[in-house]
Amino acid sequence: MSTTPAKRGPYAKSAQKRAAIARAAYEVVMEVGHVQLTTAAVAARAGMLERTMLYHFPTRDHLLVAAIEYFEGFIDGEGPEGERPLAPPSEFRDLIDELAQRSPGEDKRLRLQVALASAAQDPAHPAHAFFQRHYERVMAEMVELMKARQAAGLAHPDRDPVRMARQFIAVWDGLQQNWLIRRDFDLTEEITEAFREISGQNAMEARAAVQDLLNRI
């Protein structure tokens, strides 16, 4: 149970408004896509005047960032994604299936993320701070997963878990972006195979098969 004290007073009301606006922006993106999102549409969905909404999120870019923050659970802990626990090493394929198959069903959300990731290269863009936090969290989770798989004998013990995590995240992002442009490959299979190669799982399975064969001789 969380021990974080509840927000009170004007700050609580402001936080509630920001959360409502972020949720509205996310819903508009999921309905019409980020290219078609307008400040007027978000204000209408949030049930407030446009000038009130723009006090909290002054530009359209800020609203787009709010939408992806809402999805990630960065807006006062709200959002459909929230904190996702690490999958046990033996269930990694299930995690890949869940995440990779979710992307095709949420093209609009994924297109927004790709577009904002590109814009975030500019330190002045409102998406810059978000993606710093996003990749810090994803990197930390993936490093722990790599370490867990090494301990379970499912990843090569001599490979640096930090380097493996960084390489896999880069390949994952690239595959998703490529998949948005051309749908001539299975995203789940490609991500899974990339993980096996980067983590050394193929080598570990080959080693186990050889050892099993030797034990039978």
Taking only Cα atoms into account, the Rg of the chain, rounded to an integer number of angstroms, comes to 21
Q: How many C-alpha atoms does 102 have within 13 Å on its Cβ side?
A: 11
pLDDT (tens digit, 9 = 90+) per residue, 152-194?
A: 888 999 999 999 999 999 999 999 899 888 889 888 888 888 9
Read off the pLDDT of each residue in 71-99 and give the average, rounded to a whole number: 58
First vs last Cα of the chain: how many Å apart? Answer: 55
